[in-house]
Amino acid sequence: MNLRQLSYFRAVVEHQSLAAAADVLRVAQPNLSVAIKQLEAEWGVSLFERAGRGLVVTDTGRSLYERAAELLSGASALDQEMRAIGRGFTARLRVGYTHVSIEVIATMVAQLRDEGAAVSFSLQQGEPQLLETMVELRQLDFALTHMPVANPALGAEALAPMAMVLLCRQDDDRWPTQDEIALEMLADLPLILLRRRSGIGIYERIVEAFSTAGISCSVVADCTDLSAIYALVERNVGLGLVPVHGMHVPRAGFSTHPVALATTPGRFALIYPRGRRVLPAVQRAMDLCRTSLRAR
């Protein structure tokens, strides 16, 4: 077994055919077939079953795929780290973030670079649950996510509260430019909300705030991706009701307006592995994030 065989196998699983995987990898199709057969012969297992012109991965193949993806990711990270050291960097910071915290992460990276730190960065955007898993598995040094943090194996610090804004097209002139928007003004309007794939989060807090106020909340779509909310608002599907950091600047063609909620939509959270000695560069990066998000 070698990494090339595993990378070939992963591509075939993801593209469900030898021909498609060969096109993506830019290798001859027989090379992929030989690599798969070598793995099957080495372990005495069946990794694929034929289904028409395509391939269906077996249960054994699925198990191998999960382990191979993790191994290949680690190998890629190691390669990048060694190349960074070869270019004169002394550390490689692996940092996770959600859409809401991108401004904080970008500011931290810029500050470290301005300080002359000899570091490179690997930035991973993801949902809170994914980031928690990656930090626990030491695939990330730390992450900026949202409270609550469900994983008890992690260190977690509650930081500044998020602000709630109404995201609309810039040509939408229904909203005052200075005053906070009251929930009553949003009654029965089509809303698009940010939602976790699992667990309690911002979506549930918003719905609860409307319910407590006795106001109808008409959710036409929920998304795990802030970019999807922008796309839907641009096409007049509805209005976005999203949490942001104070440094957030809406994209060109959009505007945001503060929304009055009885309770905060949630707090930012800094998560990191417990009991792990961190590099000075990692500690400095975490401190810069804390400074941008001082607890209140």
Q: Which residue has the tokens 């990066």?
A: 285
Whether domain 3-82 has CATH 1.10.10.10: the reply is yes
Q: How confident is the model at residue 88 (pLDDT cuts 50, 70, 90)?
A: low
Residue type at position 260: A
pLDDT over 50 (residue 295): no
Q: Which residues contact 170 (CB under 8 A, 6 or more apart)?
A: 253, 254, 255
Helices (H), 91-168: 102-114, 128-136
* pLDDT value, residue 289: 94
Q: Same topology for domains 3-82 and 91-144+274-292, yes or no?
A: no
Characterize the bridge pairing of strands 142-146 and 119-125: unpaired
Instruction: Write out the CATH class of domain 91-144+274-292.
Output: alpha beta
What's the rounded Cα separation, in Å, for the pair 272 and 125?
15
pLDDT tens for residues 132-150?
Answer: 999 998 899 999 998 888 8
Q: Which of 148, 137, 138, 146 has the alpha carbon at shortest distance from 97? A: 146
* pLDDT value, residue 219: 93
* pLDDT value, residue 267: 87
Better-scored residue on pLDDT, 105 or 263: 105
Q: Which residue has the tokens 């993806």?
A: 69
What proportion of the chain, given as a percentage, has pLDDT over 70? 93
Instruction: Write out the CATH class of domain 163-265.
Output: alpha beta
Average confidence score pLDDT of the chain: 86
Residue type at position 245: H
pLDDT over 80 (residue 284): yes
Is 286 within 8 Å of 270 (Cβ atoms)?
A: yes
Q: How confident is the model at residue 296 (pLDDT cuts 50, 70, 90)?
A: very low
In the chain, where the domains are located:
3-82, 91-144+274-292, 163-265
Q: What are the CA-CA distances from residue 196 to residues 154, 158, 258, 286 (Å)?
A: 19, 18, 22, 24
pLDDT tens for residues 164-211?
Answer: 899 999 998 888 766 788 899 999 899 999 887 766 778 888 888 899
Which range in 6-20, 96-110, 116-130 is most confidently predicted, on average pLDDT?
96-110
pLDDT over 90 (residue 236): yes
